[in-house]
Structure 1
Amino acid sequence: MVSIYPFRALHPSKEESAYVPSVPYDVVDRDEAAACISENRKSFLRVIRSDAELPDLDPYDDAIYARARAVFDQMRAEGLFVQDAGESYSVYRVEYEGRVFTGLVACIGVSEYQTKVVKRHELTRYDKEEDRTRHIDAVGAHTGQVFLLYKDMQGIHDHLASLATGEMVAEMKTKSGAVHRIYPITDPDAIRKITGLFAEVPALYIADGHHRAKSAVNVYERRSERGDANLEASRFMGVLFAHDSVLIHGYSRLVRDLNGMAQDEFLSALGEIFTIRELNDVNTKASSITPDVPGKGQHLFHLYIGGRFYELTRTIDPAADAISRLDVSLLQERVFSPLLGITDPRGDERLAFMGGALPITDLIAGVDRGDYAFAILMQPTDVDEICDIADNDGIMPPKSTWFEPKLLSGLVVHSID
């Protein structure tokens, strides 16, 4: 069963919360982070992407992590962050395009990850894992949260929503129009009730933040070896959402070349694998294409190549296991590896990814410019499939899921020093 813990949260002062929070560290590159910082010197990117302010240094130089700590300390000294007087939970509420998402900010024990009460469905990359490990250790804080799902059998979601009615301590509206708000839960009885509700939940599932979770475990283990671990270092910060309350988008693929094939030859090869239909009148302002063939029992993709859209379908093998039944698995095993020579989707520079609710025009632009030979729009993976795979210790292919809402960094911080 799940154990969660309140903590003394750090958050921007209310008047500064419109400026301090930022996108997570891993959705912008160094140059994009630098551009954001030049527009807003209060941006939390100065902490989580401190390499953007030291462009002449290797991004893994010790000075990068020292800079992150120095800027974080400066922000606290200048009053950009305040720390709650006592331990609390927080409701993290996001309003976006008519939808409301409600999550709980809490700490989870490192031991829950180690014993697989917190379940993961992706592998971590060592370089990214090591980067966040050094960052957390140097800054002395979990500067980004792990996005976690729970199966709601206790009415937890509705209970949390009912608590998001008091005074908020932080609020930010992003350029996309999403409004993020933090409501603290400080009443001891309310805290005990929430802790008890989650004690009946059998597991948590990582939706986003696999590297942040593993890095938090690494920091605790390294500090334990050094003899300077404390209670807070044995816990990491997460935001917990009911698994059926979030959105999942497909994670599109863009490929730079056809591995020496002509376009007609490539389409012919695909025709040996899929049933192919050309599509007309595609709404390119949308983020996905509604399939002509309704979903269950079919692998389904939408291909953009040579200025045209095609729908690719194939019957799912009823004998296939849970991972082999995924569209991303079939695409890798039948197309990317044998036809295109892309055997390592995690590291092959010929393959790029575009996730989320971005318009199809963004994919089209990359192909039409000649940056890519084609793009494939993926259908979203079902959240119950993801949980089932995690329950069975399965590992999904990289870039299989894109979850909404996308959480901000710097709205809530968990100090471990």
Structure 2
Amino acid sequence: MSKIIPFKAVRPAPDKIGLVTCRNYDDYSQAELAAWLNFNPYSFLHVINPAYAHSQKISWDKRFKGVALKYKDFKTDGIFIQEEKAVFYVYEIQTKKQTFTGIIAGTSVEDYQNDVIKKHEDTLQYRVELFKDYLHQTQFNTEPVLITYPDSVEINTWLLLKKQSEPIYSFSTTTKEKHTLWKIDTQSDIDWLQEHFENIPNLYIADGHHRSASAEVLFEQDKHLGNSNLNYFMSFLIAESNVKIYEFNRMVRDLNHHSKEAFLEKLADNFIIKCKDQELWKPENKFEFGMYLDGVFYALFYKHTIEEVSGTSSILNNLDAQILYNKVLFPILGIEDLRNDERIDYISGKQSITSIKQIVDEGEFEVGFMLYPSDISEIKALADNNLIMPPKSTYIEPKFRSGLIVYEL
């Protein structure tokens, strides 16, 4: 049984919505960031990047206090307004290739702790603690956890009906996306939605494992204060079939002292290797891998399509990212720590293969590997069996606009 709640959100004033919201802070280059900060006084970037935050000598504590003060300024100046009552939202993102529709709601920390909300990624404790401190100091969050639920004809029909009503926001961005938001504030709709989610046995985190873990740590730290808002964290709930999962491709700086010929010979133990020369080849099926080495593309076909391991461990060992690690990255290239080894880097599958070719040709990396993206069934199977994906296995869309909806603690 999954519990969701409406909440009294803070959101941009309707006349400023297109100016306030922004992409994730890390998505901006320094030049883009400077331009938005210089020419758009309404951008939420001013909140998450207070005027002095660029200084490397500023402590995290002072940075977070600066964020909190700037957020209060935005509320005082009427850039942000607060809902008078607790509500849900229906949110639609239209990109060039796909339309995503989901529900913005509060999800339960207790459900997270009891594994009703399931995870498939590991977290880094220092990042969990850092974001927990951020939430504690700023007392707000505008980055929802992306959570999937099983496809439901009833919920899909309800969403279609709600989208026929007048939205509170409809705006486009400089990335050529259209964003539309509907407020769900009638008690009958709120009750209906909560009852339907109560019949869903499990929800699955698609993106936001550190944010949900931080919410749990903050709850345990401050629950004695009696603040009921800490019992929940903001989530964007979307049907399984509506998420888009991209792979993360791997770039390696050297061949671990192997010659090209020796490296290919070792690969042949586990892969059928086909030279594709200059063809921009990428995997078309599971158990297929692309490789770019010394100006040439290769197709690698894994020889063992069913891992000879019984039990739940076979689920992980048949994951393409794990196969590449088990058979190539660790034993041949000597990369043990996928998170921290400086010899490996990652590039999302949203970028074209020519990006990998260009990066390798520039000489900083010697070889690039292209993977076939995982699907939602693999993610769920891992989560159901308490297994963890290798780092940087998936890049999942949609991505939420920062500053669109604020959950206050």
Where does the alignment leave 5 or more consecutive residues of structure 2 unmatched?
A: none
Once residues 230 and 30 of structure 1 are traced to their aligned partners in structure 2, the CA distance between those partners, rounded to angstroms, is 38
Structure 1 380/82 Cα, relative in aligned 2: closer, same or farther at 3 Å? same
Aligned to 1:84: 83
- Preserved CA contact (<8 Å) 2:10 2:83: yes
Aligned to 1:327: 320
- Preserved CA contact (<8 Å) 2:48 2:67: yes
Aligned residue-pair number: 404
2:274 corresponds to 1:277:
yes
2:3 corresponds to 1:14:
no
Aligned to 1:75: 74
Divergent runs of 4+, >6 A: 29-32
Structure 1 57/306 Cα, relative in aligned 2: closer, same or farther at 3 Å? same
2:87 corresponds to 1:94:
no
Structure 1 60/241 Cα, relative in aligned 2: closer, same or farther at 3 Å? farther
1:26 Cα offset (Å) = 5.0
Equivalent in 224, 230, 235 of residue 232 of structure 2: 235
- Preserved CA contact (<8 Å) 1:148 1:207: yes
Tell me the percent identity: 31
Once residues 30 and 125 of structure 1 are traced to their aligned partners in structure 2, the CA distance between those partners, rounded to angstroms, is 26
Once residues 353 and 273 of structure 2 are traced to their aligned partners in structure 1, the CA distance between those partners, rounded to angstroms, is 20
Aligned to 1:374: 367
More off after superposition, 180-189 vs 258-267: 258-267
Equivalent in 293, 300, 311 of residue 288 of structure 2: 300
2:330 corresponds to 1:337:
yes
- Preserved CA contact (<8 Å) 2:283 2:290: no
Q: Secondary structure of 2:92's match?
A: strand
1:289 Cα offset (Å) = 2.7
What amino acid maps onto 2:119 in structure 1?
R
- Preserved CA contact (<8 Å) 1:2 1:203: yes
Where does the alignment leave 5 or more consecutive residues of structure 1 unmatched?
A: none
Once residues 166 and 242 of structure 1 are traced to their aligned partners in structure 2, the CA distance between those partners, rounded to angstroms, is 21
Structure 1 37/335 Cα, relative in aligned 2: closer, same or farther at 3 Å? farther
1:74-118 deviation per Cα after TM superposition (whole angstroms, max 9, x unaligned): 111122211111111000101112422110000011111111111
1:402 Cα offset (Å) = 1.3
Structure 1 308/174 Cα, relative in aligned 2: closer, same or farther at 3 Å? farther
2:306 corresponds to 1:317:
yes
- Preserved CA contact (<8 Å) 1:250 1:380: yes
Once residues 243 and 30 of structure 2 are traced to their aligned partners in structure 1, the CA distance between those partners, rounded to angstroms, is 29
Aligned to 1:401: 394
Aligned to 1:204: 203
1:272 Cα offset (Å) = 2.3
- Preserved CA contact (<8 Å) 1:34 1:53: no
2:398 corresponds to 1:410:
no
More off after superposition, 85-94 vs 22-31: 22-31
Structure 1 209/309 Cα, relative in aligned 2: closer, same or farther at 3 Å? same
Once residues 179 and 168 of structure 1 are traced to their aligned partners in structure 2, the CA distance between those partners, rounded to angstroms, is 13
Structure 1 109/173 Cα, relative in aligned 2: closer, same or farther at 3 Å? same
How large is the RMSD of aligned CA atoms in angstroms?
2.1
